[in-house]
Structure 1
Amino acid sequence: MKDPVFVIHGVANRNRDEFTASVSALAAAAGVAMVPVHWGDLGAQDNFIDAALPTYRSEQDTLRDGAEPELVLAEPVAAALLAEAIDEIRQLSQVEDAVRAQLSEGKHAEGEGLRDGSDPWLDPDQIMEYVREAWDDTEWLCRTDDPHLLRETGRSLARLLLDDADPDLDDAYHGLRGDGPDVPDRLRSLVRRRLNDLDRIAGAAVQAVGARLNHAVRSRFGPGTTRFLGDVLVYQRHRDAIHARVRQVIEDVDPDLGRTAARPVRIAAHSLGGVIAVDMATDTRPLWTESLVTFGSQAAFFHVCDPRGGQLTPYGGSMPVRLPASLNRWTNLWEPMDVLAFAASKVFQLHDGTAPVDLPVSHQASTGMWTHSAYWGLPYVASVIGNVMSRDQPTEAP
């Protein structure tokens, strides 16, 4: 008789029937007999997690149609959102190139009245002198190194100055083209005002994106991440009880499974389930494991941050940690958009000197942005599990 593959779930799996159904579907797709190991009833109590989540909405807020309140970012936050190390010479060089190009284009355009190259007050050198004076007073533009934004700033500033030189705009035209020593001051003032206008537009755009990102993080990533943290905390405190549940399920199938090198188990595990499987396989009283397939798991991340103990030595940064023979083979799947998935091959080394196999899982657009739970339904994941486990099909001795 062939031994089944035991499947250990990860975080936020409270419904035993739903998990059992997921394992049945995975078993059918992989072509391997599987037994679900459900420990979700021992996990975090997440009924009232929402009560602990922060919100920007106060009781006095009156928002129509359930709209999110405006997220106003203070100036220090603006600095954190945008680039930190800025080359101002490079910044202004890109702005200047765009200013000169736009002024040249405007002056040579047909039918543009005064835009014929005969306007000495539209001197790009003078304009850039005033831009440099005002640049440090901007809150957003001075902190970006995005070349597209800088070029568009220069082009927009030049367009605004060209419009102010248009004779059809009598007030602006005569104000700038007036005679007297105050003309440079007027141009300086105009450059500063226009640059400040563009800075406010850039700031408004960044804050709008920030508000949407904040909403997306809280509504899409927040609940999953919060439940992940809750189960991690519970596992750290109640590891023995959860390990005992896993062993009990295995013993119910066969009391000899996993106890010795002669009867190792095969395990597929998702998320925190992969951490559980690695912890048990490397324990001082190990669960002997022939093949382990993890998907969206964090065993390497946890060991780097806080050594797991058992038979594992801490990771020192230069050499991978040697895994005991009680964990014979390990294949680790990760999806690029899954923020809770980590690689294993740089942190760990199998007992025979080879590395665990890290396999990327292609991102499917249909899974959206929160991909941590998407592995269960992906054909590639089922295919890898089937291929790995088919190589290790221990049978009972006749």
Structure 2
Amino acid sequence: MSDPVFVIHGVANRDGTGFTAAVRALQSATGIAMEPVYWGDLGAEDRFIAATLPVRDTAPVPAAGSGSLLRDTAPDTFLPSFLFTEQPRIADQLAALAAGLRDELESDPGPLRDGPGHSGPDPDEVLACVAEEWPDTRWLSRTDDPTLLGEAGRALAHALLDTDTQEYAVYGHDGLRGEPGRLRELVRRRLRDFDRVAGAAIGAVAGRVNHAVRSRFGPGTTRFLGDVLVYQRHRDAIHARIRARIDEVDPKLGRGPERPVRVVAHSLGGVIAVDMATAGEPLWTERLVTFGSQAAFFHVCDPRGGQLLPYSGHAPVQLPASLGRWINLWEPLDMLAFAASQVFQLSDGSNPVDRPVPHAASTGMWTHSAYWDLPDVATAIAVAMDRDGIPTAAD
């Protein structure tokens, strides 16, 4: 094959020179002539995205006299819901807490049990008080972590066994044993203390996670969304840019089945390639390799039109003959990569080939842009673009 492979980039690419260098490196790795197709200057304005991202030190300050944010604000009003499971069963929570409390009371009775006529707090009485107060906790009642609950039980036992606490100085151990209301008051105080500590710890962790996620993944995800929005509005202009770049090589390329093109596309570039190959006047594409792409996801959410019917959920969508072969690569940690084989079917009755590429530890957690440097991607492209090397789903 003498015609080059056209490479279409994805989102958030505003460096045409850098993209050309990446394509040249991919060309060297595959041994296949390639032509970069740059459209990034038509993408979203992304210079000021950082101004829209919350930072930790701009959290709302509680009004004067309202108490701390953790004390007076419900957890789900300022923490992401993924930090919490569905409401746990109270019986399971109390069982986990009771295990820690009983273990501590039985194994470390403390000085109270050394006094004359004293046997220490009764675990059943303590647990009865805990059960009455439990629904009023904001944080402990929302966790099903047995380790955290067990440690809360142990800490509560220590508080009840500590003869130096102010509460014992006021109530005295006999008062606790003889007047359940006083025992309940002490349990209530300690549970509130533990609840605030748990809330502060969760809030601190959540703040760091929120900041880290937004700082590390936020800009990439936001630029992805920005370019998607621009592409939806200016699809024709971006398609025209790509068509013009192909025409610079040969105006006959992609105009019909006699001279189909070969395309490699990353991310939104894969959506663009599929849209063009299935349009009413298609870009005839003999072989397509996408990586980290979303064509199937977009079509399921919002049918792409052209020659494609909506996805029914019962059978894959038939692709026209203008899209010959399709290999779809995805990296396990890439949140923006989607499968294609269950949503689409090629005109010969086969499906696009979804193929994972191994995760490389050196790429870190944000892997959406890592494909360009992965040897497995270069190998898959080289095989797919070889006339005798089309892989199948069974390979």
TM-score, scaled relative to structure 1: 0.87
What are the equivalent positions in structure 2 for 1:145-224 lying under 5 Å apart? 145-162=144-161, 164=162, 166=163, 172=168, 175-179=171-175, 183-224=179-220
Kept in 2: contact 1:71–1:210 (CA 8 A)? no
**Alignment counterpart, residue 237 of structure 2, candidates 238, 241, 244:** 241
What are the equivalent positions in structure 2 for 1:288-307 lying under 5 Å apart? 288-307=284-303
Range with greater deviation from structure 2 (257-266 or 372-381):
257-266
State the aligned residue count: 379
Displacement of 1:377 in angstroms is: 0.9
Range with greater deviation from structure 2 (114-123 or 320-329):
114-123
Q: 1:393 to 1:148 in 2, by over 3 A?
A: closer
Q: 1:242 to 1:157 in 2, by over 3 A?
A: same
Displacement of 1:136 in angstroms is: 0.5
Residue 269 of structure 1: aligned partner: 265
Displacement of 1:169 in angstroms is: 6.4
Distance in 1 (CA, whole Å) between partners of 2:90 and 2:112 is 33
Distance in 2 (CA, whole Å) between partners of 1:275 and 1:26 is 20
Distance in 2 (CA, whole Å) between partners of 1:161 and 1:180 is 10
Q: 1:216 to 1:71 in 2, by over 3 A?
A: farther
Structure 2 residue identity aligned to 1:341:
A
Q: 1:79 to 1:119 in 2, by over 3 A?
A: farther
Instruction: Note if 1:27 corresponds to 2:27.
Output: yes
Structure 2 portions without partners, runs of 5+: 62-67, 391-395
Q: 1:183 to 1:325 in 2, by over 3 A?
A: same
Structure 1 residue identity aligned to 2:16:
R
Residue 7 of structure 1: aligned partner: 7
Distance in 1 (CA, whole Å) between partners of 2:184 and 2:60 is 44
Kept in 2: contact 1:176–1:183 (CA 8 A)? no
**Alignment counterpart, residue 330 of structure 2, candidates 334, 345, 348:** 334
Range with greater deviation from structure 2 (350-359 or 137-146):
350-359
Distance in 2 (CA, whole Å) between partners of 1:170 and 1:204 is 24
Distance in 2 (CA, whole Å) between partners of 1:217 and 1:180 is 48
Counterpart of 1:130 in 2: which secondary structure? helix
Residue 91 of structure 1: aligned partner: 93
Displacement of 1:50 in angstroms is: 3.3
Residue 47 of structure 2: aligned partner: 47
Range with greater deviation from structure 2 (242-251 or 306-315):
242-251
Residue 67 of structure 1: aligned partner: none
Structure 1 residue identity aligned to 2:99:
D
Kept in 1: contact 2:55–2:211 (CA 8 A)? no
Distance in 1 (CA, whole Å) between partners of 2:120 and 2:329 is 64
Distance in 1 (CA, whole Å) between partners of 2:5 and 2:200 is 54
Kept in 2: contact 1:283–1:311 (CA 8 A)? yes
Distance in 1 (CA, whole Å) between partners of 2:198 and 2:60 is 30
Instruction: Note if 1:18 corresponds to 2:18.
Output: yes
Instruction: Note if 1:103 corresponds to 2:105.
Output: yes
Displacement of 1:254 in angstroms is: 2.1
TM-score, scaled relative to structure 2: 0.87
Displacement of 1:173 in angstroms is: 6.7
Q: 1:149 to 1:376 in 2, by over 3 A?
A: same
Counterpart of 1:136 in 2: which secondary structure? helix
What are the equivalent positions in structure 2 for 1:70-85 lying under 5 Å apart? 74-75=73-74, 76-77=76-77, 80=81, 81-85=83-87
Distance in 2 (CA, whole Å) between partners of 1:147 and 1:322 is 50
Instruction: Note if 1:376 corresponds to 2:375.
Output: no
CA RMSD across the alignment: 2.8
**Alignment counterpart, residue 285 of structure 1, candidates 273, 281, 285:** 281
Displacement of 1:83 in angstroms is: 1.8
Residue 308 of structure 1: aligned partner: 304
Displacement of 1:8 in angstroms is: 0.1
Residue 325 of structure 1: aligned partner: 321
Distance in 2 (CA, whole Å) between partners of 1:354 and 1:159 is 67
Structure 1 portions without partners, runs of 5+: 62-69
Q: 1:258 to 1:217 in 2, by over 3 A?
A: same
Range with greater deviation from structure 2 (275-284 or 364-373):
364-373
Counterpart of 2:198 in 1: which secondary structure? helix
Distance in 2 (CA, whole Å) between partners of 1:367 and 1:116 is 60
Residue 38 of structure 2: aligned partner: 38
Distance in 2 (CA, whole Å) between partners of 1:85 and 1:333 is 38
Q: 1:326 to 1:170 in 2, by over 3 A?
A: closer
